[in-house]
Structure 1
Amino acid sequence: MDGQQNDEPRRDRDGKTPPGRPRRFPLTRRSASHPDGGWRLGLRRFAVAVAILVVTLVGVLAGVVAGGNVGTDIGPFHARLSVSPTTDGGTTVNIPPLGSLLLDSHGGPTQLTVELGALEQSRVEALIDDPASLNRATQSAVDEVREGVMRLGLRTVGSAVLATLVLALLVFRDTRRAAWAGGLALLITAGSLGTAAATIRPQSIEEPRYEGLLVNAPAIVGDVRKIADDYTRYAEQLQRLIGNVTQLYTTVSALPVYEPDPGTTRVLHISDLHLNPSAWQIIRTVTEQFGIDVVIDTGDITDWGSEPEASYVGSISLLEKPYVYIRGNHDSGRTAAAVARQPNAVVLDNTTTTVAGLTIAGIGDPRFTPDKSTSPASGGLSQPTADELITTGEKLATTIRSSPRPVDIALVHDPAAAGPLSGTCPLVLAGHTHDRQINTLPEVPGQQPTTLMVQGSTGGAGLRGLEQEEPTPLAMTVLYFDQEKRLQAYDDITVGGTGQAQVNLERTVIAPPPTTPLGATPTPTPTTISPTPTPTR
């Protein structure tokens, strides 16, 4: 029809092909016995198997990432356990902000990560008050870890199989193939965890490797057992020390020597906390009991300036008082940024601020040298370092002279930078040396005298303070300024000492200067208060 040839063979009325016409057959699939058919069928089955394997691996990975973690309590800590794929096994114990312990605990393609979170205050207090509870917590910690790992394994297997089944159904839309993928996921996940369990090495806890701050812990603190014993004795005193500080405030308030005016501004000067968590407890107590208006920190709040240490500065916000800070040589730019994120903190770096009526100027230390060689005991400054610090002091002096408001207090970390500030302001605060000192800077003719107050270590020098037979005591100073923002008195507070739970306070009252020529130095009148030490040996 229409000139087109019909390839279909003509048939008679009975449906048979007329004689002489070739009979044609419809196309059919080649049988499996045919050489080409077997090859194609095998290739197709291989492709399906590879697709199931790929879907299974993706599903297992997604399931492990989504569900391969559990929270558990280990003693007073809330910890999070998680697993992840790896090539050589092992366990990582993260201890913010100190760093990590790496344990060669097992083989296989599974890594266990233990993230120790915050201490629960109620549980810690209960352990401190009841030594029997502390022993029970130590014994039960192993069982708690074992229970957490078992729950983690079951959750990981279930999550991996479920994620694989869902993914396989979405990809293949075939229940049989989804079942194959789910079974394979179960085999892979359970096999990996079983391999880890079969190759566990309990002795690995005795040979940990360190990362972060903990890399330097053995070199800094020496014999771990000796330090642990010393620190345990030291930690046992904290509760008694805080109670002594509270009693101390009552004693100080009754002193007839000096009574602060209602308009007095109280400043707490701290420095060199060096990651000591005990320091925050004392700082909070003093801030509350002494009615502090502003806290000034002259640097070295951390030890190594690393990212994990940033969580340590979170306690600043708990003070609920203005917190003025400059960077020390152990503090990095990340440390300063973490402090600046606190809602009540002000970070000064060759800048000025006015807080609680006081105009304060400060500059960070020009160095970032957190290694042990830069500790105060390492010796004097090299000439290039001394020149660098003097240049830093000169920069701050220029900023102070150009300030629209007279500066009441200047802040530097290393007292070696304070020389150029003579005559620019009445008071310079510093730290760094871990040794409390008070001096008058060399006077500049025609300029007001400048007092330099160097703070001890409010953190007891951190881990370094435990190297000695007795830990370095915690030091801080309360400064009293009158309504004209002149320093009227100060209380030097010293807390701690191994073997004695003791708080000492030395009050110095600065007599008002008589009508003498400009440059006369006021005479301080010290008063020392030492509450009775309580032996704890």
Structure 2
Amino acid sequence: MGDQEHEQPEHGRQAETPARRQRRFSSLRRTGAAPRRPGRLTGVRRVGVALAVLVVTLAGVLLGTLAGGQVGTDIGPFRAKLSLSPAVDGGTTVKIPPLGALLLNSHDGPTQLTVELGALDQSRVEALLDDPASLNRATQSAVDEVHEGVLRLGLRTLGATVLATVLLALLVFRNTRRAAWAGTLALLITAGSLGTAATTIRPQAIEEPTYEGLLVNAPAIVGDVRKIANDYTRYAEQLQRLIGNVTQLYTTVSALPVYEQEPGTTRVLHISDMHLNPTAWQLIRTVVEQFGIDVVIDTGDITDWGSEPEASYVGSISLLRKPYVYIRGNHDSGRTSAAVARQPNAIVLDNATTTVAGLTIAGIGDPRFTPDKSTSPAAGGPIPPTADELTATGEKLAATIRSAPTPVNIALVHDPVIATPLSGTTPLVLAGHIHRRQIDQLPEVPGQQPTTLMVQGSTGGAGLRGLEGEEPTPLTMTVLYFDQEKQLQAYDTITVGGTGQAQVNLERTVINPPPTPLTTPTPTPTTPTPTPTR
């Protein structure tokens, strides 16, 4: 009986039918299983799992860095964005839209830091202006703000990479143990990269930047960087006085008794050569509001290089909410003109006329595009137009003015040389280009009306070029007053001291009407009285 029971299992295994055996192997094939053979390919399998964990970890670190490796922070009055990205050589990129970027060899390692300066915080700027001592405190605290922002950025990146890696590992492996290994490895990789950057940091790298974008040309434009830094230091120290004096300028305008504006007076603000100076817009907006400006006229060089990134600078035109008549300068490209034309209140003239606020205005763009020395013949660039060719541009505009259906009140050119052929075609020509204000009478043409040429200085203080000389270039603009017959009756010249200076001047000039010619009576013929003879 016992022998029968002992042999039963063996008898059962031997009794397995071919049909049952076929079903068992079919089940193994469906589940992907294979007969287990102890010790076979165990080492290869472990290496494969380790490589898979490493690949998933690197992917998680990359995704976590791109998704979470960025923070916003305040640096002085600026709102800045700090971000980290994988890189071979490390370093720091400081982006300054729309001018370009500075590349700093600040550290080693596979991590690159990007600092992008955004818009100014208006409330913080006003707070700085209200307390002059806070300007120095803001400069000193900027370093601490950068350190704090970088620290928060590092911690945020560390957390983001570990979280992204764990989630990715769970999705791929569906195994908590492997996900934990991947998360730990991500922590070590990220911490090691950040630690390498921290231990190899070179603070002196900021003294030797590499320029990118528009800033490539900055050294050639501004000259000695130390001198420019000193000028900007002086500017910060006297900024409070500058704002105070500008305020006094606008509040005292109403007390000027020289010129009484008549009803129906049209006020025109003439600006020119802003050269990307952002402070010019605030001054323009203030003048537009305080003087009740009806039309703004810009005679060119609103940008410096005519590039696509500079197009954002012209966006402030729409904030003026007044008609803005513009002609292209030699620093403005076709893209610049197109960007201006996209503003809802802008009118771009190029050998054309328009009527705004009752004034008929004609204008033509500068035929040149010479933003830097690379466009000169010596540098292999195109040959710029000669004086004769500039004169030919003026003759084209003169023909347009003569054929206009209504008399032209104002003509616009960028370079004063272009204005010469316009003598007698219009009473007033506005120009810019030379960065200094001057008023001349064009040579009179017999039988034609006299023409006045008013050349504006630089409303942007010549941009960075304004710091080249011993004295910075002032910011200038002019308010023109036209009567109901659209004749110029008076003008105010406004001058704001350049960088590092705080004086503000306003001078009003009233144009005396030409004297009325006296009518000479026609002599009546008389019979000569004979001379008595003796």
Query: What TM-score results when the alignment is normalised by the length of structure 2?
Result: 0.82
Question: Is the Cα contact below 8 Å between 1:358 and 1:408 reproduced in 2?
Answer: yes
Q: Which moved more, 1:365-374 or 1:82-91?
A: 365-374
Whole-angstrom distance in 2 between the partners of 1:320 and 1:463: 28
The equivalent residue for 1:104 is: 105
Distance 1:474 1:229 in 2: 19
* In structure 2, C-alpha distance between the alignment counterparts of 1:459 and 1:157, rounded to whole Å: 45
Whether the 8 Å contact between 1:246 and 1:285 is mirrored in structure 2 is no
Match of 1:364 in 2: 365
Task: Write the deviation string for residues 382-418 of structure 1: whole angstroms up to 9, x where unpaired.
Answer: 8843244233333333443444443322211111222
Cα drift, residue 83 of structure 1: 0.5
Report the CA distance shift for 1:166/1:405 in structure 2 as closer, same or farther (over 3 A).
farther
Question: What does residue 434 of structure 2 align with?
Answer: 433
CA distance in 2 between partners of 1:337 and 1:46 (Å): 60
Q: What amino acid is the match of 1:464? A: R
Which stretch shows the higher mean deviation, 285-294 or 104-113?
285-294
Q: Letter of the aligned partner of 1:329 in structure 2?
A: N
CA RMSD of aligned residues (A): 3.1
The 3 A distance-change label for structure 1 pair 398 and 292 is: same
Distance of 2:155 and 2:355 partners within structure 1: 58
Query: How far is the alpha carbon of 1:114 from its aligned partner?
Result: 0.7
Please give the secondary structure, in 2, of the residue aligned with 1:434: coil
Deviates more, 1:438-447 or 1:296-305: 438-447
Q: CA offset at residue 139 of structure 1?
A: 2.8
Structure 1 residue 47: Cα displacement: 4.4
| Structure 1 range deviating more: 278-287 or 75-84 | 278-287
Amino acid at match of 1:364: G
What's the offset of the Cα at 1:172? 3.2
SS at match of 1:79: strand
CA distance in 2: counterparts of 1:328 and 1:222, whole angstroms: 24
- 2:30 matches 1:29: no
Distance in structure 2 (CA, Å) of the matches to 1:141 and 1:231 = 16
1:65-80 counterparts in 2 under 5 A?
A: 65-80=66-81
Q: Distance in 1 between matches of 2:475 and 2:138?
A: 30
Please say if residues 479 and 493 of structure 2, whose CA atoms lie closer than 8 Å, have aligned partners that are also in contact: yes
The letter for the 1-side match of 2:204 is: Q
Question: Mapping of 1:79-158 within 5 angstroms?
Answer: 79-158=80-159
Report the 3-state secondary structure (helix = DSSP H, G, I; strand = E; otherwise coil) of the residue aligned with 1:418: helix
Q: Does 1:161 align with 2:162?
A: yes
Corresponding residue of 2:349: 348
What's the counterpart of residue 460 of structure 1?
A: 461
1:250 positional shift: 5.4
SS of structure 2 residue aligned to 1:327: coil
Deviation track 1:31-84 (CA, whole Å, cap 9, x = no partner) reads: 244xxx42xx55555444444333333322222111110011122222110011
By how many angstroms is 1:191 displaced? 2.0
Q: Distance in 1 between matches of 2:251 and 2:68?
A: 55
- Aligned partners of 1:77, 1:31: CA distance in 2, in Å? 67
Contact 2:84/2:111 (<8 A) preserved? yes
Question: What's the offset of the Cα at 1:470?
Answer: 1.7
- The residue aligned with 2:203 is 202
Answer yes or no: is the 8 Å Cα contact 1:477–1:493 preserved in 2: yes
Equivalence for 2:485: 484
Describe how 1:363-512 pairs up with structure 2 within 5 A.
363-371=364-372, 384-496=385-497, 501-512=502-513
> What letter corresponds to residue 470 of structure 1 in structure 2?
E
Tell me if structure 2 keeps the 8 A contact 1:246–1:289: no
SS at match of 1:138: helix
Q: How many angstroms does 1:206 deviate by? A: 2.1
Cα-to-partner distance string for 1:325-369 (whole Å, 9 max, x where unaligned): 222112233333333343333232333332222222222222221
In the superposition, relative to structure 1, how do residues 439 and 65 fare at CA in structure 2: closer, same or farther (>3 Å)? same
C-alpha distance in 1 between matches for 2:131 and 2:409: 49
Shifted more, 397-406 versus 160-169: the winner is 397-406
For residues 248 and 71 of structure 1, do their structure 2 counterparts lie closer, same or farther at Cα, with a shift above 3 Å needed? closer
Asked whether the 8 Å contact 1:212–1:306 carries over to 2, the reply is no
Question: Which region of structure 1 is more displaced relative to structure 2, 229-238 or 254-263?
Answer: 229-238
Deviations 1:214-238 (A, max 9, x none): 3333333333333322333345444
Q: Give the direction of change, closer, same or farther, for the CA distance of 1:500–1:108 in structure 2 (3 Å limit).
A: closer
The aligned counterpart of 2:531 is none
Residues 161 and 186, structure 2, Cα contact 8 Å, conserved in 1: yes
Contact 1:253–1:259 under 8 Å retained in 2? no
Q: Which amino acid aligns with 1:158?
A: G
Contact 1:78-1:117 at 8 Å conserved across structures: yes
- Is contact 2:368-2:385 (8 Å) kept? no
CA distance in 2, matches of 1:210, 1:17: 85
Query: Partners of 2:191 and 2:158 in 1: how far apart?
Result: 7
Indicate conservation of the 8 Å contact 2:359/2:409, yes or no. Answer: yes
CA distance in 2, matches of 1:50, 1:388: 71
Separation in structure 2 between the aligned mates of residue 66 and residue 179 of structure 1, nearest angstrom: 21
With over 3 angstroms needed to count, the CA separation of the structure-2 counterparts of 1:215 and 1:30, relative to structure 1, is same
Judged with a 3 Å threshold, the aligned counterparts in structure 2 of structure 1 residues 48 and 446 are, in CA distance, closer, same or farther, namely: farther
Tell me the matched-pair count: 491
Paired residue type of 2:205: S
The alpha-carbon distance between structure 1 residues 31 and 152, as it changes in their structure 2 partners (threshold 3 A), is same
Secondary structure of 2:478's aligned partner: strand
Distance 2:63 2:51 in 1: 18
Aligned residue identity for 2:449 = Q
| Cα separation, 1, equivalents of 2:318 and 2:233 | 28
- Mapped partners of 2:291, 2:14: distance in 1: 116
Give me the whole-angstrom Cα distance separating, in 2, the residues matched to 1:138 and 1:498.
18
Distance 1:318 1:437 in 2: 29
Give the secondary-structure state (helix, strand or coil) at the position aligned to 2:408. Answer: coil
Aligned pairs for 1:201-350 (under 5 A) are 201-249=202-250, 251-350=252-351
Q: Which residue of 1 aligns with 2:57?
A: 56
Q: Distance in 2 between matches of 1:248 and 1:139?
A: 32
Q: Residue 37 of structure 2 aligns to which amino acid in structure 1?
A: S
Amino acid of the residue matched to residue 73 of structure 1? D
What is the letter of the counterpart of residue 296 of structure 2? V
Q: How far off is 1:298 after superposition?
A: 0.9
